[in-house]
A and B are shown apart, each in its own frame.
Chain A
Amino acid sequence: MSEPIPAIKKFSDLANPTVFLGLTARIVPFLAVATALLFAVGLYLSFTTEGDYQQGETVRIMYVHVPAAWLSMMCYSIMAASALGTLVWRHPLADVSAKAAAPLGAGFTFLALITGSLWGKPMWGTWWEWDARLTSVFVLFLMYLGLIALMRAFDDPARAARVSAVLILIGFVNIPIIKFSVEWWNTLHQPASVMRMGGSAIDPEFLRPLLVMAAAFTLLFFTLHFLAIRNEIWRRRVSAQRRLAARMANREA
């Protein structure tokens, strides 16, 4: 866009959509390149490191399953923070951020469910089990879909923002349930092994590709989130200008 970009002097300046668009144009190329580099290293490590003595080759599924599952929860947490931004501070970009994040969250949750299933079949002997972890993640997926539908069900974006922000915050109760489900209930899913008290329980051979892939997926998420926010800002400008055009046409007629 050829518009001049106002300078960013304080955090609240980012509430100005034009400032945010300028920032996006500047940082997305760096984010995209870093994402591609991390994926190159991550995929190389994923396929060159050794298999596990029990899981064999299927341990490689973990290098996409675990990052996707982390992102599914991180994305929802970002949406919850955005919902607070909408309801408490009435930040003009907060609900844009929540709306832009929802399809990304749904995509990564879907990936976590699919890859988990593909790991479960050879390792557990079943594609699916209604245990607490799997069920709570499935509920998270359904919540993403419900929120996507709700955010698009209103003509007035301000109303959609308030209603969906309330629902996002109610649904946030599911995030600690997902995280601690493996400790509170006797699940088929194994308990946490990376982020746990007493440090990681994973051999560095597996931890290295896992962390690089997690970083790659996280940067991918932020790249796409920035771009999706930009798209949503443009979409709102388009609809505002169409309304303006309709009003002008009315006046002429």
Chain B
Amino acid sequence: MSHAFYVNLSYAAAVLVVLALTLWTYLDGKAQQRALKELEAAGIRRRSAAHQEEKGQP
């Protein structure tokens, strides 16, 4: 097989690995953010955030 075949396959593997890692990081972030929003909507707040609200801070 030609050298170009091995070169192209290597770059394709690099693109796949980089895209997979980036996509996984992005989607994981989205999922955690969604879970935090749902909890907040259900009235569950972080203790520190709840304290600040009691003290009248933003």
Contact surface of A with B, Cβ cutoff 8 Å: 3-4, 18, 56-58, 60-61, 64-65, 68, 103-104, 107-108, 110-111, 114-115, 118-119, 121-122, 220, 224, 227-228, 230-231, 234-235, 237-238, 240-242, 244-245, 248
Q: Are A224 and B25 in contact, CB atoms less than 8 angstroms apart?
A: yes
Interface size on B, residues (CB 8 A): 33
CA distance A56 to B6 in the complex (A): 12
Nearest first, the 6 closest Cβ-Cβ pairs linking A and B are A234-B32, A57-B3, A64-B14, A61-B10, A238-B35, A111-B17
Q: Are A119 and B10 in contact, CB atoms less than 8 angstroms apart?
A: yes
Contact surface of B with A, Cβ cutoff 8 Å: 1, 3-4, 6-7, 9-11, 13-14, 17-18, 20-22, 24-26, 28-29, 32-33, 35-36, 39, 42, 44-49, 58
Q: Are A231 and B32 in contact, CB atoms less than 8 angstroms apart?
A: yes
Q: Which of A58, A237, A245 lies in contact with B42, CB distance below 8 A?
A: A245
Q: Are A237 and B46 in contact, CB atoms less than 8 angstroms apart?
A: yes
Q: Are A111 and B13 in contact, CB atoms less than 8 angstroms apart?
A: yes
Residues of B within 8 A of A119 (CB): 6, 10
Given A64-B11, A108-B17, A110-B17, residue A121 in contact with residue B6 (CB < 8 A) = yes
